[in-house]
Amino acid sequence: MNDPQEPATPLPPAPPNGAAAQARPLWKRYFLDPVLVQLTQGVTPDKIALTIAIGTGVGMFPIVGVTTGLAILVGIIFRLNQPLTQLMAHSILPLHLASIYLCMRWGETLFGVQHAQLGGVRVLARNINHLFWTNQAQFWHDFGLLAFHAIIVWIILVPFWATLMYFILRPMIRALNRWKVRVAASKNRFSPLLCG
């Protein structure tokens, strides 16, 4: 049971019809179902846990607009499932916005520089976006070192995040896989009775 390479489930379930799919909660349709589909396509539970852990870590990269490219690169390096990596990286947007602010603040503290007057996450995002598109030189002068400090903090913190997430998610996804195998086995056991 504790085999690190548990087998994936044999066949995917039939997709629900349109009305039933609309009645399902969003988190099931957009988060749980893609994980279950990966389990049915031969991806091991451990690899799914690793993909979710690293994908969410990449999603917290403190520079806006880099997440997609970084997720592709990390997915190639670690041989992760690209669609699931992208889904995880982009699904944590509120956490991403908060991590930008926190990484900048912690970076200032780590490097011993005076805290910039940022004015909160919403104001910071508006100011950065406006300055980026109107005056690149001023943008890099004002935010270049701040971004560098934030990236260093992210590089320090993301291995801890990914490790923690992996060890939290791995037993949960293994249990989900075992449940999926049992459901598939019980359907296969009763299918001759329904057909005959």
User: What's the average pLDDT block by block, 10 residues per block, for the chain (196 residues)?
Assistant: 50 52 75 69 83 94 89 90 88 88 90 77 71 80 86 96 96 90 76 48
- 54 assigned to some structural domain: yes
131: its two tokens: 């300055």
Could you tell me if 110 and 149 are in contact, meaning their C-beta atoms sit under 8 angstroms apart?
A: yes
Distance of CA 10 to the CA centre of its chain: 25
Q: How many domains does the chain have?
A: 1
Which range marks the domain in which residue 70 is found?
18-186
Does 85 reside within a domain?
yes
The span from the CA of 104 to the CA of 146, in Å, is 6
pLDDT at 6: 54
Please name the amino acid found at residue 96.
H
192 domain-assigned: no
**Cβ 79 vs Cβ 96: under 8 Å:** no
Alpha-carbon separation of residue 68 from 7, 89, 111 (angstroms): 30, 8, 28
Q: Is 2 contained in some domain?
A: no
Residue 101 counted as domain residue: yes
Predicted pLDDT of residue 83 = 86
How much is the pLDDT for 38? Answer: 63
Residue 98's CB: how many other CB atoms inside 10 A?
13
In-domain check, residue 162? yes
In this prediction, residue 15 carries a pLDDT of 52
Residue 4 within any structural domain of the chain: no
In a domain, 140, yes or no: yes
